[in-house]
């Protein structure tokens, strides 16, 4: 479904991403892990079209999207939940979701709403509440719910568990597991390596703009050396 080939992203002279390649099949969950500044966000943003690709190629559903406008990628079903995503503060939970689901037909919208409220019961209890009065974790959930009510085929999430208290991190990963069971294709950037390894089908470890290691979580965890050097688990 997604092919990233020799991707390079630069900010002026800074080479943030240096020849990154990976592929993601339909229904798979790929986690990109790595320290602050490793280049994870830049990879995700390049796939969404939010940063310019210096060189390399991104192919989605057989279409070369390397230089396509972000809204066209969104129309193809690529959705990103950026780090620290915030819903519209003065709109209620329901209004936030309705805006996000604007482009789908009524019956589909109804089905999607039921689905996200089942995924996030906390939001179901707060439909009329203005988004600005939600807790940090609830805002994060609403940001994901907004991504899900649209026509999503590839869900990209950047550090969705960052800054959440442990109980909410667990809740967040439960939702990710559920989405995985429902065969949604997902790409995550995570600093919480332990959690990422628990849910991912494949893991890429990034360092200084490059993938230094990749494989199935179990294969990586089988090596003490890898665990110590790269995973910190
Ligand atoms: P974090 O988890 O801290 O967001 P990351 O792995 O997602 O880290 P990136 O945010 O992609 O990493 O950053 C990769 C490198 O590019 C870093 O050295 C960062 O300082 C640099 N960088 C990111 N955005 C910009 C920008 N807009 N202008 C200049 N340099 C940038």
What would the pLDDT profile of 193-212 be if each residue is shown by its tens digit? 888 888 999 999 999 999 99
Give the three-class secondary structure for 170. helix
Q: pLDDT at position 233, please?
A: 65
Q: Where in the chain is the domain with CATH 3.40.50.300?
A: 2-77+153-231
pLDDT of residue 224: 75
pLDDT over 80 (residue 229): no
- Across the chain, mean pLDDT equals 91
Closest CA to 164 of 175, 154, 155: 175
Q: Which of 39, 52, 81 to mutate to test the pocket of ligand 1 (most atoms within 8 A of CB)?
A: 39
| Residue bearing the CA closest to ligand 1, atom 16 | 16
CA of 35 to the centre of ligand 1 (A): 11
**pLDDT at residue 219 above 80?**
yes
Nearest atom within ligand 1 for CA of residue 51 = 27
pLDDT at 86 over 90: no
Q: What is the mean pLDDT of residues 31-53?
A: 94
Given a cut of 70, whether residue 104 has pLDDT beyond it is yes
Q: Please give the average per-residue pLDDT across 163-171, as a whole number.
A: 86
Measured from the CA of 38, which atom of ligand 1 is nearest?
6
Selecting from 3.30.300.30, 3.40.50.720, 3.40.50.300, 1.10.580.10, what CATH number does the domain 2-77+153-231 have? 3.40.50.300
pLDDT of residue 137: 86
Instruction: Out of 7, 8, 14, 84, give the residue to mutate to test ligand 1, the one with the largest number of ligand atoms within 8 Å of its CB.
Output: 14
Average pLDDT rounded to a whole number, residues 45-67: 97
Length of the chain: 233
34 Cα nearest atom in ligand 1: 6
User: For 133, left (φ over 0), alpha (ψ -120 to 50), or beta?
Assistant: alpha
Q: Which is it for the CA torsion 132, 84, 87, 122, positive or negative? A: negative
CA end-to-end distance (rounded Å), the chain: 30
**Model pTM score:** 0.91
- Cβ atoms 189, 157 nearer than 8 A: yes
Mean pLDDT confidence for 180-201: 92
Overall average pLDDT of the 12-23 stretch: 95
- Ligand 1: residues with CB < 6 A are 11, 14, 16, 34, 36-42, 189
Amino acid 66: pLDDT:
97
> Distance, CA 224 to ligand 1 centroid (Å)?
29
The predicted structure's pLDDT at residue 94: 94
Q: Whose CA is nearest to atom 9 of ligand 1?
A: 39
Q: 232 has which bridge partners? A: none
């Amino acid at each position: 479904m997604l092919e990233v080939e020799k991707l390079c992203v630069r900010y002026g002279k800074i080479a943030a991403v240096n020849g990154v390649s990976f592929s993601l099949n339909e229904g798979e969950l790929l986690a990109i892990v790595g320290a602050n500044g490793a280049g994870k966000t830049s990879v995700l943003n390049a796939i969404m079209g939010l940063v310019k690709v210096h060189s390399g190629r991104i192919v989605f559903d057989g279409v070369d999207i390397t230089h396509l406008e972000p809204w066209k990628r969104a129309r193809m079903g690529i959705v990103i939940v950026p780090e620290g995503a915030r819903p519209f503060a003065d709109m209620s939970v329901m209004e936030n979701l309705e805006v996000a689901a604007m482009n789908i037909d009524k019956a589909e919208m109804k089905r999607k709403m039921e689905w996200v409220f089942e995924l996030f019961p906390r939001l179901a209890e707060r439909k009329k509440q203005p988004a600005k009065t939600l807790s940090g974790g609830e805002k994060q959930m609403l940001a994901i719910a907004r991504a899900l009510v649209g026509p999503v085929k590839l869900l990209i999430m950047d550090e969705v568990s960052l800054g959440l208290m442990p109980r909410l991190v667990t809740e967040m990963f439960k939702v990710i597991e559920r989405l995985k069971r429902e065969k949604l294709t997902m790409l995550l950037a995570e600093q919480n390596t332990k959690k990422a390894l628990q849910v991912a089908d494949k893991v890429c470890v990034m360092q200084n703009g490059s993938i230094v290691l990749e494989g199935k979580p179990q294969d990586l965890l089988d090596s003490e050396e890898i665990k110590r050097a790269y995973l910190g688990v």
